[in-house]
Structure formats: structure tokens, C-alpha cells
Amino acid sequence: MAIYRFRVTFEDYDDIIREIDVLSTHTFLDLHHAIHQSTGYNPEVSSSFFISNDQWMKGEEIAYLPTKRKEERGIILMERSKLNKFIDDPHQKFYYTYNFDRPFDFHVQLIKILKEESGKVYPLTVKTVGIAPKPFGAAVVPTDASASKKEDKEDYDFLNETEYGIDEAEDMDLDLMDGEETQDDSEEKDDFSGEFSDNENYEDDY
């Protein structure tokens, strides 16, 4: 069976490349899933391939999870469309839009037609260049290092508060008590000093 090798590039990041082999009888949905297995993106979003010319102009649309309006118009669906039914050029091009809510646009071009090799499972990513950019609005997942730092900080705070069974409020009360005791000691010292001073005067009189 024939194997189609597609080169997939981001329209805005042409230095990021994926080359993917698929069976000629695979569907556009198979290619859609293969692309996002290679990028790490969630494939379960509304996306479309467009049959394209050499200038990457959009032609007939082949959709996945289309809007209701597109369905009513009878749009072609990826899961029902085999690749070999839409390829009539050895360098066939498809313009591909992933996730219409926060889109990434791709250029998908047929670059080789090969023979199927036994023992290989298709679709198959045969070349990967560059790291796919993060999808727009993606949550930032903390790295192991940052998570470790956070845990260390929490442990440190916990020890500071509970190592001696004293919390900050109790510590403040102790500081206040120390201040009061110091003040009382000072007053007692002053009283004692006064008495001692009177005794000195008494000796002087004699």
C-alpha cells in the first residue's frame, strides 16, 4: 500500500517541522491526530483542512467538530474522508487550521509517496525539528524544581511556627511580658537606690 509523507510546518513558525507518514487510505482525522501526537496539543477541538494551491489559498474545507451552521451546509467531515480521494498532485498542499477558538495555522504538503514497510505502525512521525509553541491560554504547569522549592518553603514556615510549640501570637505575648518585667525591675531598682541615697545622707549627718 502507498505511504504519504507529509511535511507539516506552522505558518508563523516555519522553523518548526514535523514529517509524518500515513497510509493512503487513512482519513484526514488520522492525520489530524498524528499532527497533534507530534505537537502535544489536544486534538479534540474544532479544526479544518483546506485543499490548497501553491500560494496556500484556502479551497474546499474538510472539518472536524464543525459548527452547526457548517453541518447544515453539508460540510465534508474528516472522519469520512480518505486522503487518497483528495490528492491529485504529487506535491499536494493542504492549509490546516487547528482550534478555531485560539487558532494555529499550518502548511501541510505531500513531499513523498513511498511503499508501506512491514513492521511499522502508521501514522508515524519520522522527523521532528523544533519545539511546538504553547497553545494560547495554556495553563503554566510548575516544573519539578519549582514544586520542590515551594515544598521547601512550606516546610520552613511550618518549622518556624511549631518547632517549639509557640506561634507568632504567643511569641508576641512573651515579648510583651519580658518588657513589663524589665520595667518592674527598673522601678524596684529606682526605689532601692532612693533608700540607699537616704542612708548616705544619714551617715553624713553624723
The string of pLDDT tens digits covering residues 148-198 is 444 444 444 434 444 444 444 444 454 544 544 444 454 444 444 444 444
DSSP 8-state secondary structure symbol assigned to residue 27: B
- Predicted pLDDT at 41: 97
C-alpha cell at 203: 551617715
What is the rounded distance in angstroms from the CA atom of residue 201 to the CA atom of residue 206?
Answer: 9
Residue type, 127: K
Please identify which residue in the block is written with the cell numbers 518553603: 153
| pTM for this prediction | 0.67
Q: Is the dihedral of CA 83, 87, 90, 95 positive or negative?
A: negative
The answer, yes or no, to whether residue 199 has pLDDT greater than 80, is no
What is the rounded distance in angstroms from the CA atom of residue 122 to the CA atom of residue 22?
Answer: 6
Mean pLDDT of 15-40: 98
The H or E element spanning position 173 is helix 168-205
What is the rounded distance in angstroms from the CA atom of residue 36 to the CA atom of residue 205?
Answer: 107
